[in-house]
């Protein structure tokens, strides 16, 4: 059984983060010692590990919440269900990707149209372009 600081060190997160995750239902350490300190089991360690892994691949805490439910009830779920969840996330990520690519392209168009010279910017095509109506 680990105390919060020990688990925090193990998982490279702050104690506050662990308490935050608990408050939001991501972990549920059942036991407390006589002083009221949280005690974390092997299962809790595994759960944190899962959470960190999911964060690493870009899931939000909300999504991780749903993933944890899949994980806990995995004998009632199928690979199909899990894969579908991941694929749904991929399509969200693809949307963000497309938006950022669009932005990058716009910025590059702006940048390359500007002479970049040392004369006053009163003629700057960037400033002009920005104030042009897009609708």
Helix (H, G, I), strand (E, B) or coil at 64: helix
**Footprint on residues 73-112 left by a second copy (CB under 8 A):** 74-83, 86-87, 89-90, 93-94, 96-97, 100-101, 103-104, 106-108, 110-111
Q: State which of positions 48-67 bind a second copy (CB under 8 A).
A: 49-50, 52-54, 56-58, 67
Contact residues toward DNA (CB under 7 A) are 3-6, 8, 13-17, 19-20, 32-38, 55, 60-62
C-alpha distances (whole Å) from 16 to each of 23, 106, 129 are 10, 40, 46
Nearest-angstrom CA–CA distance, 62 and 73: 17
What's the min distance (Å) between Cβ of 23 and DNA?
8
* Minimum distance of a second copy from residue 108's CB (angstroms): 6
Q: In angstroms, rounded to a whole number, what is the distance separating the alpha carbons of residues 50 and 82?
A: 14
């Amino acid at each position: 059984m680990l105390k919060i600081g020990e688990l925090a060190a193990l998982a490279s997160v702050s104690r506050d983060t662990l308490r935050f995750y608990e408050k939001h239902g991501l972990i549920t350490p059942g036991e407390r010692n006589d002083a009221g300190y949280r005690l974390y089991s092997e299962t809790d360690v595994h759960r944190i590990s899962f959470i960190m892994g999911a964060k690493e691949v870009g899931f939000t805490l909300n999504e991780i919440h749903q993933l944890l439910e899949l994980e806990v009830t995995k004998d009632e779920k199928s690979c199909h269900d899990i894969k579908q969840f991941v694929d749904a996330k991929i399509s969200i990520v693809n949307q963000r990707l497309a938006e950022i690519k669009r932005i990058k392209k716009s910025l590059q168009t702006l940048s390359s149209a500007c002479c970049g010279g040392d004369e006053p910017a009163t003629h700057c095509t960037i400033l002009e372009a920005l104030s042009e109506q897009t609708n």
